[in-house]
Amino acid sequence: MKKYEIAALSDDEMRERIKEYKAKIAEIKFNKAIDPPANPMILRNLRRDIARMKTFLRQRELAAEKQKQKSNSNT
């Protein structure tokens, strides 16, 4: 996934995709023992997509905390 595609997702959608991708990774690793995947880069790309989504989620969490602290300090 591209960064702009990930940024367009909501937090819930990102969490759901992370679960899906982790399940795909487990399935690919399991099937890898039987026969090698057609494209070995799939695992790397899935792991990177998960990392990107987690990064976006964390950035949003930090921005929300910062906004909350700002609003609390103004009152």
The per-residue pLDDT for range 36-58, each reduced to its tens digit, is 878 889 999 999 999 999 999 99
Q: Cα separation of 9 and 17, whole Å?
A: 10
**What is residue 62's predicted lDDT score, i.e. its pLDDT?**
95
The helix-helix angle for 41-74 and 11-32 (nearest 10°) equals 160
Q: Cα separation of 25 and 37, whole Å?
A: 11
Predicted confidence band at 20 (pLDDT cuts at 50, 70, 90)? very high
Q: Is the entire prediction scored with pTM above 0.75?
A: yes
The topology (CATH level 3) of 3-74 is Helix Hairpins (1.10.287)
**What is residue 75's predicted lDDT score, i.e. its pLDDT?**
63
Q: Where are the domains of the chain?
A: 3-74
Query: Whose CA is closest to 41, among 56, 52, 25?
Result: 25
Supply φ then ψ for residue 36, to 5 degrees. -65, 145
